Structure 1
C-alpha cells in the first residue's frame, strides 16, 4: 500500500513539474521580443563639476548624436562627465527593464525624466559597469537619462542598449562575467592542490611546482578580480578586488620568469635571470606605491595607475617577446619541454601581446578578454612539462633501483663465490689425498673379493669417483686460470663436443642441430672450454621431452663471438632462472649446482658473458658472448 502511495506521489510530482515547465514555456513564448536601441544623444558635463543632480530634461541645445559600434566617447580636456539621453520606444512588456552590457564610468546615475532609477559611486578605479534597470509600464516613449563621471579617458556606453522583459534580460545580466569567476575558482583550486603536493617533492621540483602554483593562483585571481561580475553584484568588495588584482599581476610576472628560468636555465649572459630580478624589484616598488596610495586615500591614484598599468603593460610585452625568443632557440635545439612550452606560451603571449597592442591603439577603450583562455592553454602546457619532468625522474629512480638491485645481486654472488673459492682452496687438496688412498685399498680388496662383496665394493668406488669429480669442480671453480691458453677454433671444438654428447642426446630421445661458422676464433683452454659447454648442453639434454631438439649456432659479429644453445625442453620459472649459478642450488634431484657455477666461472675467466632466457614449458636458450680472437697464421687450433 505504501509503495502505491509513494508511486502516486511521484507521478503527481512529475505531473506538477510538467505543468510548471509547460506554463513557463508558454509564458516565455508569450513575451514580446527584446528591442535593441542603437542610437542616443550625449551632452558634456560642465567644467565646474557636474554631479548629476540637475537632469537636463528641458535643455534642447548641446546634444550630440551617438550610438553603438564598439567605440567609446572621448572626453574633451577638462571634462570628466557626460549626460546620455536615450529615447525609449513604445513597448508592451509586463516587467520592462533596460540592459546595458558595458558602461564605462566610476559614478553613475540613471533617470527616467527626473525620476531616479539607479545610482552608484565607486571610490576605486574599476570603470566597467553592467546595468539592468527596471522600468514601469508608464515609461513608454519617455527619455532615459544616464549621468556618468570618470577619471579615465573612456566614458559612456560601449555598445548597444537593450529593452525587454526583466525575466529574459536578467539571464544575460547574471551571466556577464560569471564564467570568469568559475574559471578563476578552478585555477585557485588547482593551485592549492599543486602547492600542497609540492611539499612531497624534492628540492629541485619543489621550486618548479611552487612557482607554477603561484602562476596558476595569480591567473585565477586575475580572472576573478578582472571580471565585471564581482563589481556588479558585490560592489562592496571592489576596493579589495582591485588590490588583489594588482597583487596577482605583480606576482604573476616574476613568478612566470622564475619558472622559465628553473626549467630552461638563466639564458645566454644570464639575461633571463637579470630580467627576473628586475621584475621582482619593480613589483616590490609597485606594491610600495599601492600601499602609499591606499594610505593617502587615493591621492596618488593617477601616478599609481601609470606605474602599475601603463608601464607594466610594456614590461609584459617585453617579457613575452624575450621568453618567446628563448623558447624558439631552445625548440630549434630539439628540447621537447621547450616545444611544449612554445605551444602554450606562444598561444598566451601572442594573444596577450595582440590584446595589449590593441588596448593601446584604442587608448584604453578595450576590455582584455581572450587572455584568460589563452592562459588556460599555457597553464596546461606547464602542467604537462612538470608531469613529464616527474615521469622522467620516476623512470630514472626506477632505473637506478634496478641497477642497484643488480649490483647487490652481483655483490652477493661475488661474496658467495669468494667463500666457495676459499673453502675449495683450503679443503679440496686435503680431501682428495685420503680419497685416493681409500680408493686404492678398495681396488685391492675388490680384486680378492667375489659375489656380493665385489658388488658392494664397486658401488663404494663409484661413490668415491663421484666425490672426486665434485672436488675437481671445486678446484676448477677455485682456480679457473688456464694452464695452457691457445687460439681455439669454435667450429672444431663444437664438432668434438657434438661427438661426445650425441649418444646421450639420442638416448634421451632428442636430436642435435649444429650451425657453426668455420672462422670463429676465441682465446682459452680447450679442455675448460669443452667442460663449460658440455655442462650447458648436458643440462639441455636432460630437460628434453619426447622429440626434443637442441640447436647450437655460432657466429661472429663485430669483435664478439655469439654462441647460442637453444632447446625446446621443459624450461624454467623466473624464480629458478634468477638463482642459476648459485652454490648448491640445482633444479635436479641429485644436483649440486656446481656444474653451472663452474661454467660461469670459466666463461668469466675468458672475459665472456652468459645470458640465459627461459620460459616454463617453452624451452631455454643460453647465449654466451666471448671476445673474438685473431686467427693464427696456420689457421689451426693449437
Structure 2
C-alpha cells in the first residue's frame, strides 16, 4: 500500500510540474511570439546607375503597395533594381531580428532608416536569398529598406516577413533548405554504393546499375545545389554550386533516357535512342558553353542562361511526354517493369511538368519545390526494377544450376550404364560356356554320388544355377533389345504373371488383386515384359510381413497405359528411393541389384518410364507408363 501511495504521489507531482512547464511555455510563446508582416511598399530603381548606396527618404520616389498576396509584377524595361520599404512593428524583444525566408536578387543591401545593416553580392545566377537581419531595441517601429538588383525578371520579397526573437527565428533560418542537403547527400551515398556494387554484376546489369547510379547521384547533386542552405551559409562556394547544379541537370537527362532504353529498348523507329543521342549532344554543347562562360568571367551569362535553363526546360517537358507515352504503351502489354516504372516516373514526370509549366506561367517567379520528393518515388521504382531483374536473374541461375545438375546426373548414369553394359556383355559370354560345361559334369557326378557327396554336388549345382541366372540378367541388361516385338494385351500378360507369382505370394502370407481394363495394348517382347513386372512384384512380395496385399492396376489415359503395382509392405525411405536402379545396390542380404536394373532397361527399351513412390512403414507403389499401341485383329497377345 505504501508503494502504491508513493507512486500516486510521484505521478501527481510530475503532472503538476508538466502543467506548470506547459503554462510557462505558453506564456513564453505568447511573450516571444513572432510578428508577421504580409504587406509592404515597393518602388523601382532609378536605372542602370542605381547602386543602392543610400536608402531613399519616405517622400522620395513613387511607392506602390505590395505584399504576399500582391505581387510586384515584372520589372519595367531598362530597370534592374527595386526598393522595398517595410514598416517594423512595435516590439518588446530582448534580441530582435527580422527573418525573410525568400528574397529575389543578386546584389542586395538592407538598411534600418539610414543605417546599412547587411549587404550581399553574388556574381553567379542564384537570386534566391534567405535573410536573418539582427536588430537592436532602438529599431522599434522604424522603417526597413531593402535594395535588390538582378539580371532576371523576378525581384523583391516573395513571402511573409517575420519579426521576433533572434533565438527563435534562427531555427527557421537554419532549417530552410537543410532537408534538401540531407536528402541530396543520402542520394549521393546510395549512388556511390550502387556504382561500386555494379562491378559485381554482368555486363547487361552493369550498364543499368551505372546509369541508375548516375541518375541517383545527379538527383542528389540537384537537391543539394538547388537548396538555399548552401548559398546562405556557404556563399563562397556559390559559383561552384551553380556549376555543379548545371552539371547535375545536364547529366541527369541523358542518363535517364539511356536507363529507359536499357530497360525497355529503343522503341518504335528507335525514337528513344535518337532522342538520347540528341540529349547527349545538347548536354555536351551546354557543358562546353558552361566552360567558355566560366573562363570568360560570366560575360556570356545571359546566353548561357537561355540555353541551359529555358531551352532545357522545354527539352525536359518533351522528354517526360515521350517517356510517359512509351511507358503507357508498355504497360498496356502488361509489362511488370513498365507498370512499376509508370508509377514512379509518372509521379515524377507529372510533378515536374506541372512545376515547369507553372514556372513559365509565372515568368520564372517560382522556385521548383516538389520535384525532389517526386524523384524519391521515381528512384525507388528504379531500384525496385533493378532488384526485380537481379532476383529474376538469380532464379534463372538457380534453375540452370538445377537443370545442369540433373543433366550431369543423367550423364553419369548413362556413362555407368554404358560401361556396365559393355563389361556385362563381354564377361557373360566368356563365363557362360565354361559354366555350362562345369554344370554338365557336376550333374553326371551327382547321379553316381551318394550320401554327403550327393548333398555337396546338389549345393554346387544350385549355386551354378544362381550364377547362370545372374549372367542372364547381365545379358538382358547389356542388350535389352527384343528379338521379337509383338503387340501385347496387358490384361492377358498380367493373368500369366499372376498365375506365376500367386504361389509365391501365398507362401509369404499375402494375396494378389488384379484390376486391368480391356483394350490395353503395348508394343514389346512378352518374355521381357513378364520379366520386368515379375521383378517388381517379387520385390513387393518379399517386402510383405506376415500378411499383406498386392494390387496390380492397369488403365489407359490418352495415348498412354498406366500400370500400378501397390503393396502395403515395409516401404522405403527417400535415401533408398533415390538409389533404386543403381548397379549392385540392394536391400536384400544376397541381392545384386540387377533385377531392378534389368526392369528399368526393359521399360526404357519399350519407350516407357518407371516411378517409385514409397514411405517407410506405409508400403510402396510403382507407376509404370508405356505408350498405348493400336489393337491388333485378335484379343490375345500375339
Query: Shared fold (TM-score greater than 0.5)?
Result: yes
**Which digits, 9 at most, give the CA deviation of each residue in 1:361-414, with x for residues without a partner?**
111111111111111111111111111111111111112212221111111111
Distance 1:91 1:615 in 2: 91
Distance 2:491 2:469 in 1: 28
Which residue number in structure 2 is paired with residue 561 of structure 1? 561
8 Å contact kept, 2:493–2:637: no
> Equivalent residue of 2:363, what SS?
coil
8 Å contact kept, 1:71–1:365: no
The Cα of 1:342 is off from its aligned counterpart by 1.3
Distance 1:507 1:99 in 2: 106
Q: CA RMSD in A?
A: 2.4
Which residue number in structure 2 is paired with residue 4 of structure 1? none
Distance 1:616 1:444 in 2: 48
- Structure 2 residue 526 is the aligned partner of structure 1 residue 542: no
Which deviates more, 289-298 or 199-208? Answer: 199-208
Distance 2:105 2:562 in 1: 85
Which residue number in structure 2 is paired with residue 494 of structure 1? 494
The Cα of 1:56 is off from its aligned counterpart by 0.9
Shift of the 276–545 alpha-carbon distance from structure 1 to 2, 3 Å rule, reads: farther
Distance 2:116 2:551 in 1: 103
Which residue number in structure 2 is paired with residue 11 of structure 1? none
> Equivalent residue of 1:561, what SS?
strand
The Cα of 1:491 is off from its aligned counterpart by 2.7
Distance 1:424 1:392 in 2: 47
Distance 1:379 1:149 in 2: 38
Which residue number in structure 1 is paired with residue 579 of structure 2? 579
Distance 2:139 2:513 in 1: 107
Q: Kindly report which structure 2 residues correspond to 1:225-304, keeping only aligned pairs within 5 A, or say none.
A: 225-304=225-304
8 Å contact kept, 2:261–2:273: yes
Shift of the 215–601 alpha-carbon distance from structure 1 to 2, 3 Å rule, reads: same
8 Å contact kept, 2:83–2:146: yes
The Cα of 1:546 is off from its aligned counterpart by 6.2
8 Å contact kept, 1:31–1:165: no
Which residue number in structure 2 is paired with residue 373 of structure 1? 373
The Cα of 1:29 is off from its aligned counterpart by 4.2
Which residue number in structure 2 is paired with residue 223 of structure 1? 223
Which residue number in structure 2 is paired with residue 91 of structure 1? 91
Which deviates more, 421-430 or 234-243? Answer: 421-430
Which residue number in structure 1 is paired with residue 51 of structure 2? 51
Which residue number in structure 2 is paired with residue 357 of structure 1? 357
The Cα of 1:194 is off from its aligned counterpart by 0.8
**Which digits, 9 at most, give the CA deviation of each residue in 1:196-238, with x for residues without a partner?**
1111111111111111111111111111111111111111111
Shift of the 372–497 alpha-carbon distance from structure 1 to 2, 3 Å rule, reads: farther
Which deviates more, 49-58 or 569-578? Answer: 569-578
> Equivalent residue of 1:154, what SS?
coil
Shift of the 419–164 alpha-carbon distance from structure 1 to 2, 3 Å rule, reads: same
Which residue number in structure 1 is paired with residue 209 of structure 2? 209
8 Å contact kept, 2:48–2:80: no
Shift of the 539–190 alpha-carbon distance from structure 1 to 2, 3 Å rule, reads: farther
The Cα of 1:300 is off from its aligned counterpart by 0.5
8 Å contact kept, 1:71–1:159: no
Q: Kindly report which structure 2 residues correspond to 1:558-637, keeping only aligned pairs within 5 A, or say none.
A: 558-637=558-637
Which residue number in structure 2 is paired with residue 14 of structure 1? none
Give the TM-score normalised by structure 1.
0.92
Q: Kindly report which structure 2 residues correspond to 1:27-426, keeping only aligned pairs within 5 A, or say none.
A: 28-29=28-29, 31-69=31-69, 71=71, 73-426=73-426
Distance 1:546 1:444 in 2: 41
- Structure 2 residue 528 is the aligned partner of structure 1 residue 528: yes
8 Å contact kept, 1:70–1:158: no
Distance 2:84 2:538 in 1: 105
Distance 1:195 1:418 in 2: 52
Distance 1:515 1:338 in 2: 56
Distance 2:147 2:546 in 1: 104
Shift of the 308–542 alpha-carbon distance from structure 1 to 2, 3 Å rule, reads: farther
Shift of the 369–548 alpha-carbon distance from structure 1 to 2, 3 Å rule, reads: farther
**Which digits, 9 at most, give the CA deviation of each residue in 1:109-135, with x for residues without a partner?**
112112222211111111111112222
> Equivalent residue of 1:632, what SS?
coil
Distance 1:150 1:546 in 2: 106
8 Å contact kept, 2:43–2:64: yes
8 Å contact kept, 2:106–2:126: yes
The Cα of 1:577 is off from its aligned counterpart by 3.0
Which residue number in structure 2 is paired with residue 6 of structure 1? none
Distance 2:309 2:65 in 1: 32
Which deviates more, 482-491 or 85-94? Answer: 482-491
The Cα of 1:589 is off from its aligned counterpart by 2.7
The Cα of 1:28 is off from its aligned counterpart by 4.7
Shift of the 407–63 alpha-carbon distance from structure 1 to 2, 3 Å rule, reads: same
8 Å contact kept, 1:70–1:159: no
Shift of the 265–583 alpha-carbon distance from structure 1 to 2, 3 Å rule, reads: same
Which residue number in structure 1 is paired with residue 428 of structure 2? 428
Distance 1:27 1:122 in 2: 42
**Which digits, 9 at most, give the CA deviation of each residue in 1:146-166, with x for residues without a partner?**
111111111111111111222
Which residue number in structure 1 is paired with residue 468 of structure 2? 468
Unpaired runs of 5+ residues, structure 2, are: 1-17
Distance 1:402 1:459 in 2: 51
Which deviates more, 316-325 or 495-504? Answer: 495-504
Unpaired runs of 5+ residues, structure 1, are: 1-17
Shift of the 462–181 alpha-carbon distance from structure 1 to 2, 3 Å rule, reads: same
Shift of the 134–564 alpha-carbon distance from structure 1 to 2, 3 Å rule, reads: farther
Shift of the 570–366 alpha-carbon distance from structure 1 to 2, 3 Å rule, reads: farther
- What count of residue pairs does the alignment treat as equivalent? 623
**Which digits, 9 at most, give the CA deviation of each residue in 1:306-341, with x for residues without a partner?**
101111111111111111111111121222111111
8 Å contact kept, 2:48–2:78: no
Which residue number in structure 2 is paired with residue 519 of structure 1? 519
Shift of the 410–135 alpha-carbon distance from structure 1 to 2, 3 Å rule, reads: same
> Equivalent residue of 1:590, what SS?
coil
> Equivalent residue of 2:382, what SS?
helix
Distance 2:509 2:372 in 1: 77
Shift of the 564–127 alpha-carbon distance from structure 1 to 2, 3 Å rule, reads: farther
Distance 2:426 2:317 in 1: 81
Distance 1:567 1:313 in 2: 79
Q: Write out the 4+ residue segments of structure 1 that deviate beyond 6 Å after TM superposition.
A: 21-24
The Cα of 1:285 is off from its aligned counterpart by 0.3
